[in-house]
Amino acid sequence: MNISEEKLIAGVLGGDIRSLAKSITLLETSKVDQRQAADRVLAALLPHSGRSLRIAISGPPGVGKSTFIEAFGSYLIKDGHRLAVLAIDPSSPVSGGSIMGDRLRMEALARSPNVYIRPSPSSGVLGGTARRTRETIIACEAAGFDFICIETVGVGQSETVAANMADLFILLSLPNSGDEVQGIKRGILELADFVVVTKADGPAKQSAELAKNQIEQALMLTRSSSRFPPKVSTVSSLEGTGIKDLVSSILDAAEDRRSSNYFQLRRRDQALEWFHAEFVAILVADAEKKLKDRSGAMAAAVADGKIPPSIAAAQLASTLISK
């Protein structure tokens, strides 16, 4: 480890935001010549991580994820907490960067010295997260942030990846969106620890309560035997109503899970899942590199309709396996 790496690590452990930002940029790099340095920094930060409450927040477009996080985060920092927000944005198909990375988001929250907001491109990764979200979480925890909020790209079946790297999963839902039960993917609903109906103010307040009742009824059918039944609530991020009660419920849920050793076992499973996911990603990248010429010819044959895709994939894989 060189002096610059040691200085970067010391800065992160000292809570320096610039050092944290630089370390995350290094951890996110795909440049081969920088990966070893990134791995050394990650290994040094890992023993200082694991002490935060990790919360994944998802919901359909227009549900107000950023507005909710700003209201939620403002309450947390007033209560003496430090918050890191990892905002995952859709990637530009041209540059590969965040399409919405330049937007003004959570402006009031961003002014607090106890808040760090990091927009990152999803880079085509499914699950509502970016490729290096797990590494970013570790860096933020090592820098002393005790709450980590992962704002996902949107809602869908693949958002389960985000839920599986967090301690608690909050699903945001809209009032006035038709049949709430049909509008929410069942797989996501079954994973949610909290379902929050947003925009419960003005003319939509009554609709929000109706949506809350519908979701509660659906959960009675799908989650009645759950060890930790999800809590459904309504909030108005603009007015701040419902936020205090939600935070209190989240802290109570975290305490219940910690006392039962649930979090420790969950973190263990998440570490193993991270290991397997990274192992597969490395194998795939290596295979694509080694079989570049062969895969190009095979892809052309598939595109021309000369060979079924499934047979082409099996033949290409057998080429690698036989080596």
CA–CA separation, 87 vs 56, rounded Å? 10
Burial class (CB in 10 A: 0-12, 13-18, 19+), 300: exposed
Q: What confidence tens digit (pLDDT) does each residue in 196-215 have? A: 999 999 989 999 999 899 88
In the β-sheet with 53-58, what is the strand arrangement from edge to edge?
115-121, 83-89, 147-151, 53-58, 168-173, 194-197, 231-234
Residue 192 three-state SS: coil
Residue-level pLDDT at 91: 46
Residue-level pLDDT, tens digit, the chain, 323 residues: 788 999 999 999 999 999 999 999 999 887 878 889 999 999 999 999 999 999 999 888 888 888 999 999 999 999 999 999 998 765 444 444 444 443 456 788 888 999 999 987 554 444 334 468 899 999 999 999 999 999 886 655 456 777 788 999 999 988 875 455 555 555 677 788 999 999 999 989 999 999 899 888 888 877 666 778 889 999 999 999 999 999 999 999 999 999 888 889 999 999 998 899 889 888 888 888 878 778 888 889 999 999 999 999 898 888 877 65
User: Which residue blocks in the chain are alpha helix, DSSP H?
Assistant: 3-13, 17-28, 32-45, 65-78, 107-110, 133-142, 160-163, 180-183, 186-191, 205-222, 243-259, 262-290, 292-303, 309-321
User: Tokens 């009660």, residue?
Assistant: 245
User: Tokens 């320096």, residue?
Assistant: 16
User: Tokens 């609709």, residue?
Assistant: 207
What token pair was written down for 32?
């081969």
CA–CA separation, 220 vs 212, rounded Å? 12
pTM of the model: 0.83
CA–CA separation, 280 vs 57, rounded Å? 26
CA–CA separation, 323 vs 317, rounded Å? 10
* Torsion sign across C-alpha atoms 76, 77, 83, 86: positive
